[in-house]
Structures are given as structure tokens and as C-alpha cells.
Structure 1
């Protein structure tokens, strides 16, 4: 394991402000380095500075949870600087949003909002926070290949230190080992000299401007024309489309699978197409716009980071699909809905005039995108956000022709008023009453649903009630992984049979989206965020109840009791509507484990649309290698399949494995990346707090699958193809923490490795080769210290 200094996570909480509170580490060289000679030619931001930020800094400084709000994906973010106010925190009242390119338009505006510069060197280099932080990082070297001292705080629980320029001396004295990038090799001499020269020249600004091709401009005009048409029907459709695509990174799909030149966001603008876009800066996309606006497409600027890069394809065919679904059948709207609390809380009544089938079908067409928005979007961060769902589960969807909300107008009219969502009131005093009110409505809806389906489908649901992707759409079968630090969604059924599988109908799908995406305000109060996450507990329970309808009636209570062990029984008694224990199922079962039998049925009946067959984690006949695997992948899967899907009781190394790690493999003239995901087991997931009371570590399992199935790697292992058997043997032989430490010593990529920054680029290179449209920089804020 090589030796290097601490590379510049300039961003990686780098830049002066993110100095996340670090206690001093021992075992470091305290000898300051001499300043390297300046570059021979003038330094520019675009050609010289941006590449350093992309390779060493953005990995920690992107998205809402960038330390000290220092976002380095764009030149504008670097110019804006940092803030002492975190985005993710518990607030009694909502905070003013601080979104780049939306909530302020100039450096002066950001200064008024409390942001301070990290690059200003008008009074000399020592006045630049960026320079001082990087210099501090170069003043000390960690022992190469060794763990960082335990008192260095990393991950979600760290307390960021965000010193202003005036307090940098104080910070450096208190945290001499807290330079940037934090806890990794420092910038190289050449990189440091480049940034020093740029700062010494006054930090000449870079540009985030995007040059669009003629075809991109044509497609923008076509979409903006379609979205801004006159007529109440057209305006209502455009509002629905906007509220469902505002979070997306849109791209124009030419069918090639190549990475497009640019991605776009859909915005509400004060200005009409053809003029400079002026965003309607509301916290949420369905907040009152406060005047006239137009829907506009705006290019995404800067470097893409994986955690926020949730893509959606636009094309002429997609626009025609929307036109046909929404306008093929006659419907009218006498008055457009407003943007008041009731309209925001209930999309089913707000958009009641729109054909329900069109709404559901458009979400099904790109179900992976919509599920990603609420599994991987801003709402999903930390334990409170994730502890109300399982670590690993599958999701399928109810066939539109078997969904009463789609097929029965009378049922839809009765059900829609009960489907409102909490969280509009952000006052702490409203938390209890709001929760009780919406829980009552949701449970009344489930009772009505139970009765209506018992009448409409007396024989119960069969396989024809599960959407088959219209024969060729892989969005019909999804796998969700959620962990404390990570969450991901993929087409296909990955992993061993999960404990739960969700069958989502349209009301469940749309409520999940509005609850966790449209109506969620990352800057909102603790009351708003608690109501949002508490209601998702009800949505999860609703999806589980819908799945139970497909299982034998006599088995449902036992399965439900298994899902809600111990304290979960309390929720069954006081919060959830009773599950249907009487209506039969039209599916025949022949085993004592009907949930597994149902999952097996999904695999066999929908094999033609299963995007990711998985013999690695479901090895039944001894051949545990995917049919499409190349030579290197065959070696990896042959070696690692014996580790997959075993419990921690049987494979003790799982007890020390991080929740989401990557395995980098080199050999056979090729390289590849596999995800190693630890699935934590719980007696129930009915509560936001008290996980330790419900955690069942002996039942944890490990899912192994090719590709990058995470945004925040907790750790990386690196092996050669020749060492794969040795790695597998070490995993199988590990019995305690000392054995796991020995495994890391031999195969781990610790933060202090001299080639750390070179090796952590491997997952991005893999994505660029295998899934270029989805590729983005991974976040290293949660990379562990093992």
C-alpha cells in the first residue's frame, strides 16, 4: 500500500471551511513542506483548476450535504464560498433556501445571506481560506497505509468546523491535522503550485456557461412550446409533468446509449422562452408561483455528482407518448386548481380532471426514475430517513387494468379525498394533530380499499394483477437497497429473496412521490420532516398490505407478525389498519413459505423483462455465474458467489463489513467493479428511532453484484484476479475484528494510501464505460476509517 501525502479534497470538506472538527491525530509527520515552484505558464480555472477540483475535491463538496455548504461542482459554487449554517439540521422553523442559481444571482447576494469567500486573496495568500486549508493539509503526513487515529470524526455524525477567514488562525491552532483534504493524502506539489498560482493571480473566475448545439436548441424549443401551450387542459397537463420532472437531470435520448453532451432541469421561469431564464424561487415546485411564469429547460452546469444525477430521457417519441396518453380521450377542466395548502397536500384531487390511466402509465413507463427520486433524493439521508424501510427489497406494480383507482370512477371519487399528505404545516405544535388526522384518513382509505377489492375481485388477485412491463419494459421489476449512508434503485431483481416485496398501485406510487419529493422541503422544520417520514411509514405498510393480498389468506397473519416482531406489534395495534385476512388469492401455493414462493414466481413469470438476472446471490444449481459475464467477471463471480446471501451467523466477517463497499478487480487485461452490500436485519422497521432495540445483526446478509450500486462508498477493497481466491478465503476465515483488520491490511484501500486518489477514480471510469448516462462522481464524505 503506497505512500502519499493528503491529496486535496479541496472540496472534500476541504476548502477552508469544511474543516470538520478534527481532533489531532497521532503518528503524523509535522514537518511543513517548502512551497513548490510556480507553473511555467499562466493558470486558468477551466484548464488547470477545475480538473483538480474534479479529481480531489468534488468527492466531498457537492449536493446539499457538502460540508459548510461549499459546493464545488461549478465555478459559481466556488465563488459563493461557504456558510456556517448546515442544510441538514433540526429546526423549529423552516430556513430560507440556499440553492445555487436559484436563491441568489450574485456574489453580493450570497454575502448578504451569510456566505463568505474561500478564495479571496486580495490581502495576500494568507487571507485565502482555500490556500490556508490546503497548506495546513500539506504540513502533516499520515502514516501511509495505516488507519487514521480514532479521534478523527468522519461520516454523518461529524461536526463540521466552518471557520471564517478571520478565525482561520484559531482553527489551525485547535486542529493542526484538520487541513484539507481531510484524512487523505494532500495535494501533490504540482497541484498545490497550480492552485497557489491561481490564487496569487487573484483567482481569475471560470465560466459555467454551456454551449448548446443546434439540435439541442431545436429540442428545447419543441418541449417548451409543448409545455407552454394555451388552454386549461394543456396547462393542467404541463403542471403535472413539471411537478414530476423538476428533480430530474433530463437529456435528449438519441437511442445510442452514449452520454449526451448536456443534461437539463425543468424550471418555472418569470421569463418566456427565448429570454434569459429567471427562476421562480419557491422552496417546493408546487408552492404558489406568485405571478406569471413559463416552463423552461435550463442546462445543468458544472460537474455531475452521482447522488444527485437522477436521469430521465426526453425525445420526440416521449413527447408524443405524453400527448397520446393525456389527450387521446376527451376530458374537460372548468377551472384550474390553485396552489393552496389543500391543492399541495392532495395531488389526487388537484389533478382529478387528468385521466388517471395516463398519470399512472407515465410513471410506470419510467418507474426506476420515479422510485429513485424518493429513495435516492434529498429526503434520503441518515437513519431517520431510512429506518422506516428494509435494507433490501423488491418492488413491482399493480397492472393498470386491475387497479380500481384507474378503472372505477366511483371508487376513485370516494378514495381521492382520503389520500392527502401531511407536512404542509411546519409548526412543531402541529406535529401531533396533523399526524393523527392524516393517519385516520389513510386507514379509512385502506378499509374502503379492502371492501372495494373484495367485491370487485372476489377470487383475489392473480399474476395478471402484476404489471408485466407491457411485455418489454424492465421498469416493471425493481430492486431497492437502502442503508444508513446509501440508497439505490436498479431495474431487475437483485439479491436473494427479500423479506418483503412491495406491490405498489397508483395511489401508493403517487403518494410516495409527492410525500418524499414534491412536498419535501430539505430546508423545512423538524415538524415538516417528521410528518413526511412518519407518513412514509404508512406508505410502506400499505405496500406490504397490498402484497399480502397475493398470499394465502391463512398465512397472512403469521407473515405480518414476522414483519412486525416485538415493538412492531404496538404499531399494528394503534397505527395501521387491519390487513385483509379473508379474501382469497388467485395464485396457487404449494409450500410453507409463500413469500418466497411469490418471489420465485416473479422471477419465473417475468424472466423476459428481468434486466439483471442474479445467479450470484441465488445460486441454486452450482452455476453461480451470469450468462453475460466476461472472462474477468466469471473469475470474480466464481470466487465470490460462495460468500453471497449467507447470514452473519454463518459468515462472521459480515459483522465488521461496512454497509456499502466496492471491490476493485484488475486482471486479464481488464478491470471491473463489484458492489458489496451488507443488508441489516431488523425485527421491524415501524419506528424512526431506537434501531438498536430492533436490530438483529446475526441475520445480516451480504449481496454481491457487478457495478456501482451506491453513491457513498463506505470503503473499497482492491484485488488482482490472481488474488481473488485468497480474498474469498480471507473473507470466509475471518472470525473476529482482528481477522477483519488483517483482511483490510492486505486488500483494503485506506484513506492514507499514497495512491488513494488514483484508485478511487476506478468506479467513475467503470460507470463511464458501462453506463455512461448514469455516471457521476461518488461522494467520499462517508468513506470509513478501517
Structure 2
């Protein structure tokens, strides 16, 4: 009788017409028990997974289920993530009063059973392993079938049944709850709010699931890669305390990087990790919240662990390591004459303060190390743990440039001495760990910042007396070849991007970073930030970043005429709160004139021209907005009323006569009266000042709109109509003509074109885009 019941249910599922209802799964298929699913890539099932299943998961599933912010924490980008399954607990929760337990793959549990004990529930069948049970008991399979049974209306805007907000409620249904989900949300199948997978793709997934969901990792490192790893691990793990301290510093800045050793054809990426086992032995990860937390072992070893997850654009920070880089690190950290007598403490109050921990390493060595890979370090602010969230990112403007003070001018012994004398004032909020009280701590850190700024300004008045070096001579020129010397940051409301070069129209503000400022931002937003921390930790981090942004802007203002500085700053901070005005008053002690002789009444415009001239040899042209075709270039001068209707990021594909594609990104810059309001961003928006920039290639990781133009005639029509938009109906009409809506019947075909084109444009920087912000308009 049981066999008949099982066959009946399986028949219903395979027909694609229904799903399992209220069934006692334990009675039918036995109790749940985790399965061993990982097999070698050289086996038949392993090869089938890598060749036929993984490509479908990557291109149809990982685009929404890839990282911290994946719905229900379901990460389909690796075998461990698939096997781990779902969790009802949110990672991004700006309201929790106490820090929550981290749930990082590979770190916070070592096997699937441990994830079950942490309340993660399976999406693959964990009951009796028969073909019938493997389909009937799989949340993943039933989600695919539900989609096949309830297709979306073709090329229409979806109604309120669909919630695409990032903070939408998540069902995270177990198999026992799936019937209720299907009743309440018949369009809740996967991919959610997008067309279903093709019949061929469905068959690949069905066959894989039916046979037990066996999975394989990508091939292990090549012999060449392993040889290079051996050399690097030997360098980083020498017994000398000087080497140990240097390796600790390097690790705390590179722990997010995707490292590769063979630039011509990188077969793998690697993460630099802390292990309790030395080179030559199997890596045993040290599990801590932060990279500088107490490892609780007598000796830390720095190892290279193969990155076995699908590469995602939103977390991809590529870094090449080669012999030249190894020699550079030796010259920066080992060759200088300094002595390490003991390793510094891992106690939070000191480990969170890099000025204490790495005090003996020369300031020039540390600063030059950060400058060498400045885009990577700043990308950590953007793509690291704070990569999602409006509150985390409304501390920065939508578009600004970043330059750096020359080490020869600001990484001097006098500056190093000042930092040592005031290292306590440079204490960062992470000293409070992951549970913090925001108000009392804000007062504390505000006072410390004032103390440090007073010392900094006092020294600056001596160093730049009479305007000496207060010209573009102050800027780091990238040693004549390093394009990291000039960067542009774009904020896209609740995500952001950093690229090389001074990109786009002249921005409202610019930062000039010195060593202490650069280092503090890294330890505030990357090394010291805990995405699992409480609301206090997150708020104090956001509030402290206000100080650091102001400091970077102040460095830029110092190059402008003295009588213009307050006027320009007041324009940047129109309608700002009284507390900010008081902060400005307390920081007017820097009194040296600019060394630049300005000739017009628009010195900021002049300064931008001088900065571009000074850095011309190292300005990247990859995203030069002046190089887009003339027809598309009109988008750079669109009226604000039309710009207001644009999403933050739009990708434009233009088909060429040879069937290849050119790509462009339209970036909507939200203008603000000021960005000092924590919870009232809408109240600070200056909508009439919004602008747009179109650049060649792809900027950003979260496309909100995809436009496809078949020929020059469509390009002309698109660019003629886009600036004429005035109301939402105009935008939707244009989307119907030229847009690829999430309900487009061939959405996935265009998605494949998008990613294939991105591979050509981005090269080593390529990763899968994330569709969690794709608009429904």
C-alpha cells in the first residue's frame, strides 16, 4: 500500500501539475538523516554535476542565492551551501538588540549535521534515498515544479502578490510546510518572480536530484599553482617575530581577497586564511568573528585555501600574487630596520586598534602597502560585510573621487610619532565588540576624534606652513605607473562600486586619504565590522564613519582657497543638523593657505582639472564616460525630471552587426542636501539636482534594469525618448519597447548574453551578477 501511495505522489509531481500536500513524510520516507553527497570530480556523478548541473545552478539560481543576503541564507554557489539549506534567521537585521551567532560556511560549522543543529533545514531529500523520495522530499525540486505549474504573465509588470523588497518576509519552507506555501503563494516557485528554467535545464536538475544530489568541488589546484602557494606560505610562516607580525598585518588587509597566481589562465582563486596547522598539513580554519580576534592557539599559520564557490561579482576582489609582489612585501616589511620583541595582544581593545598592534612597523611601509592595492582595500569597504544596506551606505555621497596623500609628505617620522602619541584617541568602535550602546559610545568616540583632530591639525599647520606642498604636489602619483592612485566611488542607494580612474562628471565632493584615515576606514568597515552584530554596533559604526568622511573631505578642502572652504562645505552640507555645525566650528584651526594660485571664481572646478593633469599618466580610461557613442552621450545631460525615473543601475546591451554586443551602464546619482541624517534620507534628497552618467562596460553588481537595443535605429529612438520622460507611465512605455523585464519570456537568454558580454569586458574581474534588486516596472 505504501508503495502505491508513493508512486501516486511521484506521478503527480512529475506531471508538473501539483505538489505534495499534507503528507506525513516520516511515515512515507523515514526520518531525516544527513547524507554524504560530496564525491570526487573524477567520478561520473561528480563530472555530471560540474558539467550539467552546476552551470544551471550558477546561471539560474546563484544570481539570487549566492551570499549573505541570499533569501533564507540559501547559498547555491557551493556544495556545502546547497547541502546546508535554509534558515529562517536573518543575517541583515538592523533591529536586533543582541549580536547573533554567525553562520558563515566552512567557518561556523564543519559538516551538515552541525548546520542542522543550528536550525538550518534541507532543500535536498534527507530521508530514504530512493528516486521517488529524492524528488518528493526535496524542497528544491518542489520549488521548481511549482514554478513550472504557475508561469508568470509574459512581459507584464507583476502585481502586489509579488514582493521584491530586500526586507520582504521570507517563508523558508521545509518540506512539511511546502504545501501551505504553495497554497498561499502559488507563484512562489523558483526562480522567484522570474521565468522558469527551460525543459532541458529542468531535466538536468531532476535527474541529478533523483539520483541523490551528488556534488563535486572543482578540480584541486594545479601543480603550478600549488608550487606558488608553497613558496608564499613559506614566506608568510617563517618563525621570526618580524615575519609573524608582518604576516598578521598582511592577512588583516587581504582576508577578503580572491587571490590568483596564474594571470594568463587562472584556474582557481584562493583565500588567505588563518589555520592552526602549518604548511604541508591539512588546513584547520581558525573560526573567529573578526580577522584579528584571539585565535586561541599558540601559533597562527597563514594558508591559502582554494575558493570553491561560484565567483560572484558582488564579493569578487581579485588580487594577483607573483614574484614581484613577494619582493615588494619583503622590501616593505622585512628589509626596514626595526625589531619585534614580542607579538601584540589579541585583546579587543588593542587588536581592534592597528596603530597599537602594528606600532613598530614603519608608517611608510604600512601606507605604501595599502596604496599598492588601494582599489582592493577600498573595495573591501564596498564588497565586504557592509555591502548591503541603506543605513550602512548613506554615510557616503552617490558619486565622489578618491585620491591619496603622497607617502613622502604624510608618512614621515613626525607623523608616525604623532600617531604613537595619540594612538588611544584612534580607538575604533570595534573595541566594543559586537554588542554596543550607540549613544554613549558616540559621545565617547566623538570626543576621541576631536582630540586626534586637534593633534593632527596642529602638526599639519607646521608641515604645510605658508601653503608649502598644499598643491597637487601633495597627491600620490602612483609612482608613475600605479592606477590605484585615482579612484571613483559610486553609491547605488543600498549598494556601491569602486573603480580606478576619475570617472564621470565632476563630483560634488572628493576625499584625499592619508595613512591614518585609510587605515581607520579599513578597520572600521572591514576588519572590525560584524554583520552579525547588534543594532548598537551597526549604528556606532555608521556614526563614526561620518567623522572619517568629513576628515577625507577636509583634506581635499585644504587645497582650495582659504576664503572659499567654508562656503563650499556649507553647500555640501545644506540643511545639516546643529551638531554638525558645531563639529565644523571645532575644526577650523587649520589655517594654512592653499599653495595653488587660482584664476577663476570656481576653484573646485580648477582643482579638478589640476588633479587630472597631475595624475594623467595613471588615470584609468576603462570607464571614460566621454568615450560612449555620441547618440548615447546625451544621457549624461538628461534633465533631472527624467533622471528621477531611472533606477540606480541600468545595463544597456547594443547588438552589433556581427552579433556581438557592446555594453554600457547608466548610473543614477541621487543628490542630497547633506548626508548626515541617519534615518531621514528622503528628507535630505535634492531631487532637482539628480544627474546620470553613462559609461562603457559594466559598473556595479546589482543590475536593476536591463535594456537591449538591436541596432542603431533603436539606439537613436531610445536616447531620444529617455530624456523626455516625465512620469512613471513614460518609463514603463519605454521599458515595453526596449527593456528586458523580469517577466520577459526570453529573460534567461538575455541574461546569458549579459553575462557572456560581461566576461569579455571584465576579464579577471568577472563574476555572476545579482538579481535581487531587479526592478518590477
Q: TM-score of the superposition, structure 2-length normalised?
A: 0.90
Q: Mark the runs of 5 or more structure 1 residues left unpaired by the alignment.
A: 1-30, 36-40, 617-623, 627-635
Quote how far apart the aligned CAs of 1:761 are: 2.4
Give SS of 1:299's match. strand
**Is the aligned partner of 1:308 residue 2:315?**
yes
Mapped partners of 2:403, 2:438: distance in 1 = 32
Give SS of 1:48's match. helix
Mapped partners of 1:484, 1:135: distance in 2 = 35
Q: Greater CA deviation, 144-153 or 512-521?
A: 144-153
Quote how far apart the aligned CAs of 1:191 are: 2.0
Mapped partners of 2:515, 2:442: distance in 1 = 23
Q: How does 1:343-492 map to 2 (within 5 A)?
A: 343-403=350-410, 407-426=414-433, 430-460=437-467, 461-492=470-501
**Is the aligned partner of 1:128 residue 2:138?**
yes
Quote how far apart the aligned CAs of 1:748 are: 0.7
**Is the aligned partner of 1:764 residue 2:771?**
no
Q: How far does the alpha carbon of each residue in 1:573-610 deviate from its partner, in whole angstroms, 9 at most, with x for none?
A: 15884245631011111222222221121122222211
Mapped partners of 1:302, 1:157: distance in 2 = 25
Quote how far apart the aligned CAs of 1:81 are: 0.8
Q: Normalized per residue, which structure has more helix? A: 2
1:684 to 674, 678, 686: 674
Mapped partners of 2:647, 2:167: distance in 1 = 16
Mapped partners of 1:396, 1:733: distance in 2 = 36
CA shift in 2, pair 1:302/1:754, >3 Å: same
* 1:641 alignment counterpart: 633
1:260 to 266, 270, 276: 266
Q: How far does the alpha carbon of each residue in 1:319-364 deviate from its partner, in whole angstroms, 9 at most, with x for none?
A: 1101011222211122211100222231011100001101000111
- The answer to whether the 8 A contact 1:405-1:506 is kept is no
Mapped partners of 2:734, 2:54: distance in 1 = 36
Quote how far apart the aligned CAs of 1:402 are: 1.2
* 2:288 alignment counterpart: 282
Mapped partners of 1:715, 1:211: distance in 2 = 37
- The answer to whether the 8 A contact 2:642-2:723 is kept is yes
* 2:601 alignment counterpart: 592
1:718 to 687, 708, 715: 708
Q: How does 1:665-680 map to 2 (within 5 A)?
A: 665-669=654-658, 670-680=660-670
Q: How far does the alpha carbon of each residue in 1:418-466 deviate from its partner, in whole angstroms, 9 at most, with x for none?
A: 2111133257663222221111111111111111111121122111111
Higher RCO by CA contacts (8 Å cutoff, separation 6 or greater): 1
Give SS of 1:298's match. strand
Give SS of 2:401's match. strand
Mapped partners of 1:637, 1:485: distance in 2 = 30
CA shift in 2, pair 1:476/1:615, >3 Å: closer
Instruction: Give the number of aligned pairs.
Output: 727
**Is the aligned partner of 1:248 residue 2:257?**
yes
Give SS of 1:760's match. helix
- The answer to whether the 8 A contact 1:446-1:577 is kept is no
**Is the aligned partner of 1:215 residue 2:224?**
yes
Mapped partners of 2:552, 2:162: distance in 1 = 41
CA shift in 2, pair 1:161/1:34, >3 Å: closer
Q: Greater CA deviation, 565-574 or 678-687?
A: 565-574
Mapped partners of 1:593, 1:749: distance in 2 = 43
- The answer to whether the 8 A contact 2:99-2:435 is kept is no
* 1:18 alignment counterpart: none
- The answer to whether the 8 A contact 1:663-1:718 is kept is yes
Mapped partners of 2:105, 2:624: distance in 1 = 44
* 1:84 alignment counterpart: 88
- The answer to whether the 8 A contact 2:698-2:761 is kept is no
* 2:7 alignment counterpart: none
Quote how far apart the aligned CAs of 1:137 are: 0.9
* 1:654 alignment counterpart: 643
**Is the aligned partner of 1:54 residue 2:43?**
no
- The answer to whether the 8 A contact 2:437-2:537 is kept is no
- The answer to whether the 8 A contact 1:210-1:301 is kept is no
Quote how far apart the aligned CAs of 1:53 are: 0.2
Give SS of 1:109's match. helix
- The answer to whether the 8 A contact 1:471-1:609 is kept is yes
Mapped partners of 1:161, 1:275: distance in 2 = 42
- The answer to whether the 8 A contact 1:718-1:747 is kept is yes
Mapped partners of 1:209, 1:140: distance in 2 = 35
* 1:108 alignment counterpart: 113
Q: Mark the runs of 5 or more structure 2 residues left unpaired by the alignment.
A: 1-13, 19-43
**Is the aligned partner of 1:559 residue 2:568?**
yes
2:765 to 763, 771, 774: 774
Quote how far apart the aligned CAs of 1:566 are: 0.7
1:753 to 741, 744, 759: 744
* 1:548 alignment counterpart: 557
CA shift in 2, pair 1:175/1:575, >3 Å: farther
Give SS of 2:57's match. helix
Q: How does 1:146-185 map to 2 (within 5 A)?
A: 146-185=156-195
Quote how far apart the aligned CAs of 1:569 are: 4.5
Q: TM-score of the superposition, structure 1-length normalised?
A: 0.89
CA shift in 2, pair 1:433/1:746, >3 Å: same
Mapped partners of 1:155, 1:639: distance in 2 = 34
* 1:70 alignment counterpart: 74
Give SS of 1:771's match. helix
Quote how far apart the aligned CAs of 1:647 are: 4.5
2:99 to 89, 94, 103: 94
CA shift in 2, pair 1:587/1:580, >3 Å: farther
Quote how far apart the aligned CAs of 1:253 are: 4.8
Mapped partners of 1:735, 1:182: distance in 2 = 31
* 1:501 alignment counterpart: 510
Q: Greater CA deviation, 679-688 or 42-51?
A: 42-51
Mapped partners of 1:158, 1:342: distance in 2 = 37
- The answer to whether the 8 A contact 1:121-1:200 is kept is no
* 1:273 alignment counterpart: 279
CA shift in 2, pair 1:548/1:579, >3 Å: farther
* 1:732 alignment counterpart: 723
- The answer to whether the 8 A contact 2:409-2:474 is kept is yes
Give SS of 1:644's match. helix
